[in-house]
Amino acid sequence: MCGKEKHSLTLVPDYKLWFERDGEYIFGPGAYAILKSVYEEGTITKGAKKLSMSYRYAWGVIKKIEKKLGITLVETFKGGTEGGGGARVTENGLKLMELYSNINKAFNDILESSSHLNL
């Protein structure tokens, strides 16, 4: 065995993106996933279930951000197509999702071209 073996190491880059306000953590990947899931599923119950979360947890995450920002991200309503009510992501909620998603996509594009780094 030689003391100076040639190593071939592959490293995989990953990242976490979040939004702050006045230095306080506000919105990250978890909250984004919840908003997206509620948007896609149309109810908080189904949106949370899809992510294997409890309704209570998912709703709590949304409410916490709404309180910090003083805006509404998700509106619930009664009735609807299935009669059981539903949840609607507000304009501000959609805007927040879009801001997050745009940066995420740009970051992912960068990582795609360097998804495996060799030392």
Q: How far is the CB of 11 from a second copy (least distance, A)?
A: 4
Q: 48 or 61: whose CB is closer to a second copy? A: 61
Q: 48 or 89: whose CB is closer to a second copy? A: 89
Question: What b/e sequence results for 25-53 when a residue is b if at least 16 CB atoms lie within 10 Å of its CB, and e otherwise?
Answer: eebbeebbbbbbbbbebbbbbebbebbeb
Contacts with a second copy by CB under 8 A lie at: 7, 9-21, 26-27, 69-71, 92, 95-96, 99, 102-103, 106-107, 110-111, 114, 117, 119
Please choose, from the candidates 65, 51, 70, the residue with its C-alpha nearest in 3D space to the C-alpha of residue 100: 65
